[in-house]
Amino acid sequence: MKKTNFLFLFGILISISLSAQIKNRKLDKVIQNSIETFDVPGISVGIIKDGEIVYAEGHGVRSLKNNQPMTKETLVGIASNSKGFTCFSLAMLVDEGKMDWDDKVRKYIPEFQMPDAFVTEEFTIRDLVTHRSGLGLGAGDLMFFPEGSDFTVDDVIANMSKQDKKSAYRSSFKYNNNMFIIAGEVIRRVSGLTWEVFVEQRIMRPVGMKDSKASYKRLTDKSNIIDAHTRTEGKVIQIPHDWNELANPAGGIMSNVSDMLTWAEFLMNDAVTKDGERLLSKEQMYNLWQLQNPLPVRKDNDYNTHFSGYSLGWFVSDVKGGYKQVTHTGGLLGTVTQFTMIPELELGIVVLTNQMLGSAFSSITNTIKDSYLGYENRNWVEKYGKKNEKWISYNDSIKKAVYQQVEEMEKKTALEASQITGTYEDDWFGDITIEEQGDELRITCERSTQLKGVLLPYNLTTYVAKWDNRSFDADVFVLFSLNEEGQAVEAKMKPIAPVTDFSFDFGDLHFYSSEE
């Protein structure tokens, strides 16, 4: 009888093993299909279920430059998935009695100001990390994006008061990275440690994230790290790593699938490490995932979701009949990532990529989620592939039409160069200079060294700034206003295509001629 039971149990284990192998082979195919469909050089994927790692693999290559394989250990900038670490750090300081979520920011940063005096006095630590400031989407991101600017954390704090209000305080969701930079400064002033040191010493080391660092510059071993890639003028190319250390609390962490699965296991284990050490009280761990700022939900959504919103560094929602989903995405120039947990199912999913197209991680994450939530094959790769083709075609058509008009305009009379050359100043971004260089008009942003390019006529008072760095995919209209003498006195910017990343917040700039 005992032998029979053993054979029966052995048969079950073999069946489970074979089932897992079959499931993994199917996932391998989905990932490879995503690589091909979305033209992503490399993707690493991890799944943890019931405390066990059931999948952790890399696919493709980590760089088109060296064609080295992408592995589960390959380091990737997780970008805004860093925000969860920032909020976890704040929660630890709350546990220690050193601050409270509803403390006013000015208690720790007296020089902090918002455009409105009332908001300045009422703005809390909780407000910093819930995207409800009343400022616009990506407000002020040009202070750190792209890499190469000379702005400091003091500049970020000072320039918040110079941003335009887009909605009432606490009335809506407008994603804001700079508030997380300020939250990082709160951590420094309260704890006496920089954000980077705090995250590595107080979180990563105890949790067991062996390969991760709080910033790119803190990596000492770059032997297994991705290169960034992006689609530029119809072709995916390798581009330099681009991240400003100023914004580390908003998105600076470097990690890999192995470490991020460890992070997921730790969080779903109620903030208790593998060694049994509790890093956060049950109260604060529960608090981190409570809805703070609601978001609208479509009635015909894909996961029967009824409620959605932002908590403290996380997006939270219900999926498939009430399971709580905790997730975030992250994007840098040339890479995007997604981190998802369904705690009640003890399920964590990590997808890291080295190309800045979110359709790939969405296809893979949704396919994995569906397999655990009981949805039949919905072929996310095909679905997102068609959407992506339309999106690319739409944006390409806009850009093509703009540059066709530029070509036509070059044959017509535009403004004289002398009417628009000179220096223009924005209140928080600083100066741009427009000058003649040979046969070209050139535009240069003084405080952001990568933002320079050629200025091309579009119509009588509008030009196109075609940036030298073509990987930005962020060319803009430059709209001039003239005085009665025909001299440009003001300039505004507007992206020529919706594909432009929101962190290129050119639309928030308003330049005035320094000669006026």
Could you tell me the two tokens for 372? Answer: 């655990």
Note the pLDDT of residue 133. Answer: 98
pLDDT tens profile 296-332: 999 999 999 999 999 999 999 999 978 999 999 999 9
What residue ranges do the domains of the chain occupy? Answer: 42-375, 396-513
The residue type found at 178 is: N
Note the pLDDT of residue 181. Answer: 98
Helices 2-38, 358-373: axis angle to 10 degrees equals 160
Residue 272 pLDDT level (bands cut at 50, 70, 90): very high
pLDDT tens profile 84-107: 999 999 999 999 999 999 999 999
Note the pLDDT of residue 412. Answer: 76
Domain 42-375 -> CATH class: alpha beta
Note the pLDDT of residue 234. Answer: 83
Element (H, E) at 26: helix 2-38
- Residue 489 per-residue DSSP state: E
pLDDT tens profile 484-506: 999 999 999 999 999 999 999 99
State how far the Cα of 436 lies from the Cα of 440, in Å rounded to an integer.
6
pLDDT tens profile 45-55: 999 999 999 99
Could you tell me the two tokens for 292? Answer: 């703070």
The residue type found at 488 is: A
- Residue 224 per-residue DSSP state: T
Q: Give CATH for domain 396-513.
A: 2.40.128.600
Average the pLDDT over 376-397 and give the result: 95
Average the pLDDT over 330-336 and give the result: 95
State how far the Cα of 168 lies from the Cα of 185, in Å rounded to an integer.
25
pLDDT at residue 74 tops 90: yes
pLDDT at residue 34 tops 90: yes
Could you tell me the two tokens for 203? Answer: 């979180």
Note the pLDDT of residue 3. Answer: 52
pLDDT at residue 14 tops 50: no
What are the backbone dihedrals phi and psi of residue 496, each rounded to the nearest 5 degrees, phi first? Answer: -80, -20
152: number of Cβ within 10 Å: 11
Sign of CA dihedral 226, 228, 230, 233: negative
Per DSSP, the three-state class of 354 is coil
Q: What is the largest CA-CA distance in the chain?
A: 103
103: number of Cβ within 10 Å: 16
State how far the Cα of 503 lies from the Cα of 222, in Å rounded to an integer.
27
The full 3-state SS of 85-127, as one line of letters, equals: HHHHHHHHHHHCCCCCCCCEHHHCCCCCCCCCHHHHHHCEHHH
Torsion-angle region of 352 (φ positive above 0: left; ψ -120 to 50: alpha; else: beta): beta
Note the pLDDT of residue 1. Answer: 45
Cβ–Cβ under 8 Å, residues 104 and 158: no
- Residue 201 per-residue DSSP state: I
Element (H, E) at 336: strand 335-342
Could you tell me the two tokens for 371? Answer: 């397999």
Note the pLDDT of residue 20. Answer: 63
Residue 454 pLDDT level (bands cut at 50, 70, 90): very high
Note the pLDDT of residue 515. Answer: 72
Note the pLDDT of residue 22. Answer: 60
Strand extents, DSSP E, 4-152: 42-49, 52-60, 76-77
Please check whether the two domains, 42-375 and 396-513, share a CATH topology: no
pLDDT at residue 10 tops 60: no
Note the pLDDT of residue 233. Answer: 82
State how far the Cα of 331 lies from the Cα of 274, in Å rounded to an integer.
30
Which residues are paired to 307 by β-bridges?
none
The residue ranking higher by pLDDT, 13 or 335, is 335
Per DSSP, the three-state class of 135 is strand
Residue 12 pLDDT level (bands cut at 50, 70, 90): very low
Percent of the chain scored above 70 by pLDDT? 95
Average the pLDDT over 126-148 and give the result: 97
Percent of the chain scored above 90 by pLDDT? 90
Could you tell me the two tokens for 42? Answer: 């490399």
pLDDT at residue 4 tops 80: no
pLDDT at residue 7 tops 60: no
387: number of Cβ within 10 Å: 12
Strand extents, DSSP E, 390-507: 422-426, 430-437, 440-445, 452-457, 462-467, 476-482, 488-495
Average the pLDDT over 348-371 and give the result: 96
Average the pLDDT over 501-516 and give the result: 91
What are the backbone dihedrals phi and psi of residue 148, each rounded to the nearest 5 degrees, phi first? Answer: 115, 0
The residue type found at 510 is: H
Average the pLDDT over 430-454 and give the result: 96
Average the pLDDT over 334-359 and give the result: 96
Residue 169 pLDDT level (bands cut at 50, 70, 90): very high
pTM of the model: 0.94
Residue 13 pLDDT level (bands cut at 50, 70, 90): very low
pLDDT at residue 109 tops 90: yes
How far are the Cα atoms of 112, 167, 237, 445, 479 from residue 510, in angstroms, in the given order? 23, 19, 33, 13, 10
Contacts of 11 by beta carbon, 8 Å cutoff, 6+ apart: none
Give yes or no for a cis peptide into 146 (omega within 30° of 0): yes
